[in-house]
Amino acid sequence: MRRLSQDEFFVFQQDGAPAHRARETITFLEQQTPDFIPPTLCPPNSPDLNPVDYSVWSVLQEKIYRTKMADVDELKTRLIDEWAQFDQSTVDAAISQWRRRRSACIRLRGHTSSINSNSFELNCYTNL
């Protein structure tokens, strides 16, 4: 992972999938990532704290499902093609919202709320 990041700083956050919480996985990530957020510190069901959930996936879905697909193979091909062309600025914008979203979830103590000034609804399902 350090090699892939070319020694640039990054934070690694993952969801609570069972394979992601395995001891071996956690040990690997603690050793290989400069700033790893362990699953114990991540809310298990909070899409508003995962940039892929609150931004990236919806943009990708919009591109992939523009027209009807014939089969799963076509879906796979479209996913690969669209990801290869995906605009990094979309990912960067989603990541730049993360601290503001995290702060709002903490302030709301994990409750759902609409934040009008930021034009997004928070669904912070956690016990902070």
pLDDT tens readout for residues 8-36: 766 666 666 777 778 888 888 888 877 77
In Å, what is the CA distance from 25 to each residue of 2, 12, 29, 75, 80? 16, 12, 6, 29, 26
90: enclosing H helix or E strand: helix 88-96
Amino acid 32 reads Q
Taking residues 50-59, what's their average pLDDT?
80
Amino acid 28 reads F
Sequence spans of domains, the chain: 1-42, 45-128
Res. 119 pLDDT band, cuts 50 70 90: very low
- pLDDT for the residue 126: 46
- pLDDT for the residue 10: 66
- pLDDT for the residue 22: 85
SS3 of the chain: helix, strand, coil, percent, to 5? 60, 10, 35
- pTM, rounded to two decimals: 0.53
Q: Is 105 exposed, middle or buried (0-12, 13-18, 19+ CB in 10 A)?
A: buried
In Å, what is the CA distance from 90 to each residue of 68, 85, 98, 99, 116? 24, 12, 13, 16, 21
Instruction: Show Cβ contacts of residue 16 under 8 Å, excluding neighbours closer than 6 positions.
Output: 39, 42, 44, 45
pLDDT tens readout for residues 69-118: 999 999 999 999 999 999 999 888 888 887 787 777 777 766 655 544 34
Query: How many Å from the N-terminal Cα to the C-terminal Cα in the chain?
Result: 30
